[in-house]
């Protein structure tokens, strides 16, 4: 089984500042990793995913994440945030071989202020 720890429950940030959301995972098998975003009163939208290949993954809306196998981390970054990035962000993990179960972290609330 896999598990995810999101190290920051809330991240306040000023507009146009950079942001980093930290995610660590635990697994005894190889994993696929995902970041989802949930805007207020909406469903979850896939931001980016790591399946294989380059450890630096680029996603939508200017977000990117880096997979670090030795540190079992998958941190999400954006160099300059907008007010519209205010949302809940979830890191998720699953095993690579026919694993349908996606395990989510507890989420990080990002609040962008002007």
Partner 1 sequence: DTAVSQTPKYLVTQMGNDKSIKCEQNLGHDTMYWYKQDSKKFLKIMFSYNNKELIINETVPNRFSPKSPDKAHLNLHINSLELGDSAVYFCASSESSYEQYFGPGTRLTVT
The nearest distance, CB 73 to partner 1, in angstroms, is 20
**104: β partners:** 92
11/44 with CB nearer partner 1: 44
Q: Which residues bind partner 1 (CB under 8 A)?
A: 34, 36, 38, 42-46, 49, 88, 90, 94, 98-102, 104, 106-107
The nearest distance, CB 102 to partner 1, in angstroms, is 6
36/74 with CB nearer partner 1: 36
9/70 with CB nearer partner 1: 9
Please name the residues in contact with 34: beta carbons below 8 A apart, sequence gap of 6 or more: 46, 47, 48, 49, 50, 91, 92, 93, 102
19/35 with CB nearer partner 1: 35
The nearest distance, CB 36 to partner 1, in angstroms, is 8
Per DSSP, helices labelled H in the chain are none
Give the Cα separation of 21 and 15 in Å (integer).
16
Bridge-based pairing of strands 56-58 and 44-50 is: unpaired
């Amino acid at each position: 089984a896999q598990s995810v720890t999101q190290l920051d429950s809330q991240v306040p940030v000023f507009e146009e500042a950079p942001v980093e959301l930290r995610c660590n995972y635990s697994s005894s098998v190889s994993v696929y990793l995902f970041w989802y975003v949930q805007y207020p009163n909406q469903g979850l939208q896939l931001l980016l995913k790591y399946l294989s290949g380059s450890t630096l993954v680029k996603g939508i809306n200017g977000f990117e994440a880096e997979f670090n196998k030795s540190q079992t981390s998958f941190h999400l970054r954006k160099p300059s945030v907008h007010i519209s990035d205010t949302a809940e962000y979830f890191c998720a993990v699953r095993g690579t071989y026919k694993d349908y179960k996606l395990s989510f972290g507890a989420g990080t609330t990002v609040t962008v202020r002007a």
